[in-house]
Amino acid sequence: MPTLRLMPTLLLDQLIPLYPLTAPDAPGNRHFQLTRDEGQQPAFRQNMLQPHRKDYYHLVYVQRGGSRHWVDMTPYELKENALYFSAPGQLQLKEKLAPLWGVSVAFTREFLARQPAALAQLPLLLNPQNGHELLLTPADVAFVEDLLAKLEAEYQRSGEWQQAMLSAHLTVLLTYLSRLYTEQFPGGEPSADQLLVRKFRARIEEDFRERHEVGAYAALLHISAGHLSEVVKAQSGKPAIAHIQERLVLEARRLLFHTPQSVKEIAYDLGFADASYFSRFFKRETGLTPAGYRASNREMYP
């Protein structure tokens, strides 16, 4: 697959904004934020009605209220006593503002990097099943609400121990939610081969615009292309190249659906030197040309 660029990559955040975490009410907590909603509709949330990305991890516990929102191309009707979560960089969209009762917790990659390495490997954060909703039983609700209350109390309390306490409470919360994740999205403890597939997919997420070949990822992982292909096919049921192509198609769909970029611009943005080759690739993978995909979706969601 050709990857030579003929023009500089377009900055995606100029087309779909990437919002950083801001916590003006809590100096010193640039990397952690907790907010409680009690039916209000803060004005700063207006930007959520447009396609956007967040540059941080986001957990939202919904007690009641809410409306429909999208994560990538999947819509979710917010349910009572449920928890919704997303990772940095995922494309999101709220369909309308509506009163919400609940608690939101957000933290950056930098905050996570200060924690023990095992925390970043929790299923909730890795999200191998690409789920974004956890349904809570009454017992779960009691446990989660108690932890959120402790986090909120510490968040409002300054001092040298604040960050350590926030980290401790958040660790318990993420660990508990990860147990729920594995119950609602079964998978089991990862083997060495499964961990390799996770690393492969993580590298795809970082480099899919620049690297379209299995061999390029194998070199990054310090293994042979043949070994990587064999493990990925055995663990996922799909060839390694299919994972790369699926990620390219997902990004192409995002750009076709949410931006006015031309097909040629999207092709170059995704690392294709030839726009016509990109169009053939997209049609082979989806059954539609890029223009046909854009037209069909605009008819569905005018």
In a domain, 266, yes or no: yes
Share above pLDDT 70 across residues of the chain, in percent, rounded to a whole number: 87
Q: Is there a domain that residue 16 lies in? A: no
Where a domain ends, among 184, 209, 229? Answer: 184
| CATH number of the domain to which 36 belongs | 2.60.120.280
Same-domain check for residues 36 and 61: yes
Domain that holds residue 219: 191-300
H helices present in 16-85, as ranges: none
Cα torsion angle, 261, 264, 265, 266, sign: positive
The mean pLDDT of the chain is: 85
- The residue with greater pLDDT, 15 or 69, is 69
Highest mean pLDDT out of 80-94, 133-147, 248-262: 133-147
108 and 219, same domain (yes or no): no
Decide: helix, strand or coil at residue 230: helix
134, part of any domain: yes
Q: Are residues 168 and 211 in the same domain?
A: no
Question: How far apart are alpha carbons 166 and 48 in whole angstroms?
Answer: 27
- Residue 1: is its pLDDT beyond 50? no
Q: Is residue 23 part of a domain?
A: no
**CATH number of domain containing 252:** 1.10.10.60
pLDDT tier at 94 (50, 70, 90 boundaries)? confident
Q: Which of 184, 212, 239 is the last residue of a domain?
A: 184
Give me the residue label for tokens 């207006």.
Answer: 46
> What pLDDT band is residue 190 in, cutting at 50, 70 and 90?
low
Domain end call among 184, 214, 241: 184
Total domains, the chain: 2
* 263 and 170 inside one domain: no
Rounded to an integer, what distance in angstroms lies between the CA atom of residue 156 and that of residue 86?
24
Q: Is 6 inside any structural domain? A: no
84: in domain: yes
55 and 71 co-located in one domain: yes
Q: What is the pLDDT of residues 223-249, one digit of tens each?
A: 999 999 999 999 888 999 999 999 999
Q: Does one domain contain both 35 and 171?
A: yes
| Residue 298 binned pLDDT confidence (cut-offs 50, 70, 90) | low
Examine residue 15 and state whether it is found in any structural domain, yes or no.
no
- Least-confidence region, from 49-63, 91-105, 156-170, 245-259: 91-105
Query: What value does the mean pLDDT take over residues 38-60?
Result: 74
**pLDDT tier at 300, thresholds 50, 70, 90:** very low
Residue 21, SS3? coil
Q: How far lies 226's CA from each of 138, 231, 241, 258, 281, in Å?
A: 49, 9, 12, 37, 24
Please tell me the least confidently modeled range out of 42-46, 54-58, 72-76, 259-263. Answer: 42-46
Whether residues 41 and 169 share a domain: the answer is yes
What are the angstrom distances between the C-alpha of 60 and each of 57, 133, 186, 284? 10, 10, 22, 38
Judgement on whether residues 126 and 265 belong to the same structural domain of the protein: no
Given a cut of 60, is residue 86 above it in pLDDT?
Answer: yes
- Residue 24 forms part of a structural domain: no
Residue 177 shares a structural domain with residue 49: yes
Q: Same domain for 117 and 138? A: yes
Q: Is the pLDDT of residue 219 over 80?
A: yes
User: Alpha-carbon torsion 40, 43, 48, 49, what sign?
Assistant: positive
138 and 198, same domain (yes or no): no
Q: Same domain for 84 and 141?
A: yes
Name the pLDDT band for 8 (thresholds 50, 70, 90): very low
What pLDDT does 9 receive?
38
- Give pLDDT tens digits for 246-297: 999 989 998 998 888 999 999 999 999 999 999 999 999 999 999 999 888 7
